[in-house]
Amino acid sequence: MASSQDKIWILREVAKDYSGRSVAGRCADVVVDEANSGTAMRAPAKGWDERADGRRPDVWSPAPSAWVTLLRQQASNTDGTVPVADGRQNPIVTAPLVFAMPKPMPKPMAQALGWPGKAIGWSEPAELAAAPQGWAKYGHPEWGRFKLGKTNPNFSTSGLNATIGAYFAATGTTSDLTARDVADPKTRRFVQGVEQSIVHYGDISMTFLGNLLRADDRGESMAYISPRRLLTVANSEGGSFVG
């Protein structure tokens, strides 16, 4: 079994309890390997090569079901079949994707946006990222331009969901995002403004947070995430089970 990093310890505990049973007269042993969701999605899409991709799993459990949708779209098996079971993928765990913001004195950035009296959604940081005046829009020109830190949507679930969230914010919708919405020039300009505000673009959230930890160990965390420079999109991922 291949699992995303965020829940692998849960699945390994379950696998340990299950292993050793007799199934159809044979001893069953479940081994759970760590697999980044974005990387693992590409392996079956192009045809699994064990020399390059490692052991081929019997079961793949990515972070969210969005990776399953992408696999269906990108699958290119020679026989024309899609290597994903039909039906709805039931989640193992679910968790929200959240923003993390620095707390410069005298007022935290989140409070400048209206929190906690106002719920902050994707629209506020996305619009702020696209605003030429930056934090001056909220009365804090001393904080400079808005800067974003997020992960690569080709590999990271938080990066993928953050990118999707920017498109939802651009269109003002909460569901049923269409291809026409994505292709709209106004929408693309809005999302480009968000992407151009990025100052840290790690491959996965663990890389991003690991770099932040090392900076903090050196007493330089605010140089990595300066209160004048960065909003971080923290990683918090769910899991889907695909047979």
> Nearest CA to 234 among 151, 127, 141, 142?
151
What pLDDT is attached to residue 47? Answer: 76
* Number of domains the chain is built from: 2
Asked, for residue 60, whether it belongs to a domain, the answer is yes
Contacts of 149 (CB under 8 A, 6+ apart): 198, 199, 200, 201, 202, 208, 225, 230, 231, 232, 233
Per the structure, the complete domain to which residue 37 belongs is given by 2-74
Domain final residue pick, 40, 58, 74: 74
Is the domain of 34 the same as that of 143?
no
Q: Are residues 225 and 105 in the same domain?
A: yes
pLDDT band at residue 31 using 50, 70 and 90 as cut-offs: very high
Same-domain status, 142 and 43: no
Q: Check residue 224 and give its pLDDT.
A: 66
Q: Residues 74-133: pLDDT tens digits? A: 775 555 566 677 777 788 888 777 777 777 666 778 888 888 898 887 778 777 877 888
91 upstream amide cis, omega within 30 of 0: no
Note the pLDDT of residue 185. Answer: 93
Within a domain: 154: yes
